[in-house]
Amino acid sequence: MTLKLQRRTVLKAGGATLLATSAFPSFATAQQRGGTLRLGLSGGNSTDSWDGRTHSDVFMQVSAMGGVFDCLTEIAADGSLVGELAESWESTTDLKTWTFNLRKGVEFHNGKSFGADDVIESLQMHVAEGAKSPAKPLVEPVVEMKKMSDHQVQFVLQAGDADFPYQLSDYHILIYPAGMVDDAIRGGIGTGAYRNEGFDPGVRLLLGRNPNAYKEVWFDAVEAISITDPGTRVNALMTGEVDAISRIDAKSVRLLERNPAVEVSEVTGNQHYSFPMITTTAPYDDNNVRLAVKLLFDREEMVRKILLGHGKVGNDHPIGPANRFYAADLEQRTYDPDMAKHLLKKAGVEDLQISLSASDAAFAGAVDAAQLFQQSAQAGGVSVTVVKEPADGYWSNVWMKKPFCACFWSGRATEDQMFSTAYATGKPWNDSYWDHPRFNKLLAEARTELDDSKRRELYREMQVIVRNEGGVAIPMYANWIDAKSKKLAHSPKLGNVWALDSARIMERWWFA
């Protein structure tokens, strides 16, 4: 089987960069070892654990994927895909059979050596009976996992998928030691460059450098503290209690900039604030109405007032500047109440009355954004009632239940992941209940297309379709805004998939 595979055309071979951090050799400041990195992180909970299937926020993303555990692949700061525990990979021409060559000589923190069994067992965790993993849709298409040798695994997919290696970089799909997954989840036993030296969920995590790490990392130790209040995070950084903090309020940026010892690190990624309309109910079943609603968002004003300039206007599709096939040349949708009026007349609902449900659980400033929309929609003859929903239970009781509400998406590393999660027909998170046959067809086509320029064309058309016919208004992309002490240094390019250098701060940064 191995031989047969190698006879076939080798399509993709991802060369793993040996040292993820030294991928930028031209950078002026020499990286150096030493120091304890102290982090003040948002999103920590007393319910946190080392189970990757439960991770959803910054604290565990940074601690698990970015420290204690590894994935098979990793998205580098420049957006390209490099190997993490996989050294290289290749597929057959139909993109259905993928073979991964695993890194040799890697050990888990408990001394067990890493191999093919670990990969297979770790992936199966997401599709096990009754498993509640957000990564289930990513692993489900794998119909067969075969151990070819100790350091080679083969995956057979239901249908071809050119992005399969990208899917495996997902922060939920961590690699655990086979046969001792429970121990690993209890004690945090991974292959990562840092070892768990004490974890008090929702309070504090201590990590020490793993002496057998295959990656070169710079900090001797890391102390991550859960600080849920944004104001307190800023205080902790300003008074030197921590060296870096995640997720600061746009309002605090100017305050931080006045302090000479700290600086704000800001990147525009795929994170977007959206307003899904349920397209199966009136009035949003009429695309004229949906388009009119999209035209009534004053995007520039929202970026200015809600994001205080720390973002970028959105164009009603979820593909962002951090995606490979982002169609930057699409015409930017602007505020146009006259056109909206015209469309509403066409739809026969000239004096449209709608309600918009919002809560700051959706994103900071969601209620204010809804009120801005209320104002700007008046010019189009639409009267909007803003319903302020409770933050508790927002995702269960409002999102995907109320016909028009506020929402946010972190975005996804690949176009396919984003579209298949939230725009393909029948998917659990298709929050506009949108059903567009042509779009679904293109999505399947693009997945198995080999030629990058053809894929670009397909994804471009999908972005156009979502922009013009989709059920989601996306007025803005919000920057990832973190802040750090000037004592910390990093390479000039920061990852923009997640907060804090795509959650890789422990692996990629160092003390200058």
The reply to whether 425 sits near other proteins by the rule CB under 8 A is no
The residue range among 4-12, 52-60, 69-77, 108-116 that interacts with other proteins, by the rule CB under 8 A, is 52-60
Distance from C-alpha of 427 to C-alpha of 429, rounded to nearest angstrom: 6
Q: Of 6 and 232, which CB lies nearer to other proteins in the complex structure?
A: 232
Q: How far is the CB of 256 from other proteins (least distance, A)?
A: 13
Q: How far is the CB of 444 from other proteins (least distance, A)?
A: 23
Q: How far is the CB of 234 from other proteins (least distance, A)?
A: 10
Q: Of 34 and 202, which CB lies nearer to other proteins in the complex structure?
A: 202
The reply to whether 396 sits near other proteins by the rule CB under 8 A is yes
Q: Rule CB under 8 A: which of 111-130 touch other proteins?
A: 130
Q: Of 24 and 408, which CB lies nearer to other proteins in the complex structure?
A: 408
Are 114 and 108 spatial neighbours (Cβ–Cβ below 8 Å)? Answer: yes
Are 216 and 209 spatial neighbours (Cβ–Cβ below 8 Å)? Answer: no
Which amino acid makes up residue 6? Q
Could you tell me the two tokens for 480? 């990832």
The residue range among 45-53, 79-87, 468-476, 496-504 that interacts with other proteins, by the rule CB under 8 A, is 45-53
Q: Of 225 and 253, which CB lies nearer to other proteins in the complex structure?
A: 225
The reply to whether 309 sits near other proteins by the rule CB under 8 A is no
Distance from C-alpha of 298 to C-alpha of 300, rounded to nearest angstrom: 6
Computed on alpha carbons and rounded to an integer, the radius of gyration of the chain in Å comes to 23
**SS3 (DSSP) at 197:** strand
CA 122 to each of CA 53, 65, 113, 114, 143: distance values in angstroms, whole numbers, following the listed order: 11, 14, 15, 12, 15
The reply to whether 36 sits near other proteins by the rule CB under 8 A is no
333-344 exposure pattern, b = at least 16 Cβ within 10 A, e = fewer: bebbbeebbebb
The residue range among 22-30, 81-89, 294-302, 386-394 that interacts with other proteins, by the rule CB under 8 A, is 386-394
Q: Of 152 and 359, which CB lies nearer to other proteins in the complex structure?
A: 359
Could you tell me the two tokens for 246? 């995640």
**SS3 (DSSP) at 328:** coil
The single residue among 203, 255, 261, 282 that binds other proteins, judged by CB under 8 A, is: 203
The reply to whether 186 sits near other proteins by the rule CB under 8 A is yes
The burial of 263, by beta-carbon neighbours within 10 Å (0-12 exposed, 13-18 middle, 19 or more buried), is given as middle
The single residue among 12, 17, 18, 49 that binds other proteins, judged by CB under 8 A, is: 49
Q: Of 289 and 406, which CB lies nearer to other proteins in the complex structure?
A: 406
Rounded to the nearest angstrom, the gap between the alpha carbon of residue 207 and the centroid of all alpha carbons in its chain is: 24
Binding mask 135-174 for other proteins (x = CB under 8 A): ----------------------------------------
Could you tell me the two tokens for 504? 């890789």
Q: Of 24 and 429, which CB lies nearer to other proteins in the complex structure?
A: 429
The reply to whether 235 sits near other proteins by the rule CB under 8 A is yes
Rounded to the nearest angstrom, the gap between the alpha carbon of residue 267 and the centroid of all alpha carbons in its chain is: 13
The reply to whether 202 sits near other proteins by the rule CB under 8 A is yes
The single residue among 34, 231, 309, 348 that binds other proteins, judged by CB under 8 A, is: 231
The reply to whether 228 sits near other proteins by the rule CB under 8 A is yes
Q: How far is the CB of 312 from other proteins (least distance, A)?
A: 23
Q: Which residue carries 């990093």 as its tokens?
A: 490
**SS3 (DSSP) at 175:** coil
Interface size with other proteins, residues (CB under 8 A): 44
Nearest partner of 467 among 322, 270, 331, 304, judged by Cα = 331
The single residue among 10, 11, 181, 264 that binds other proteins, judged by CB under 8 A, is: 181
The reply to whether 185 sits near other proteins by the rule CB under 8 A is yes
Q: What is the number of helices (H) and of strands (E) in the chain?
A: 18, 21
Nearest partner of 384 among 372, 392, 394, 396, judged by Cα = 372
Nearest partner of 39 among 236, 260, 220, judged by Cα = 236
Give, as one character, the DSSP assignment of residue 44.
Answer: -
Q: How far is the CB of 87 from other proteins (least distance, A)?
A: 31
Are 219 and 35 spatial neighbours (Cβ–Cβ below 8 Å)? Answer: yes
CB atoms within 10 A of CB 45: 15
The reply to whether 429 sits near other proteins by the rule CB under 8 A is yes
The reply to whether 371 sits near other proteins by the rule CB under 8 A is no
The reply to whether 397 sits near other proteins by the rule CB under 8 A is yes
Q: How far is the CB of 258 from other proteins (least distance, A)?
A: 12
Nearest partner of 419 among 404, 406, 408, 434, judged by Cα = 434
The single residue among 104, 204, 388, 486 that binds other proteins, judged by CB under 8 A, is: 204
Residues that bind other proteins (CB under 8 A): 40, 45-47, 49, 51, 53-54, 56, 130-132, 134, 181-182, 185-186, 200, 202-204, 225-229, 231-232, 235-236, 238-242, 390, 392-393, 395-397, 399, 428-429
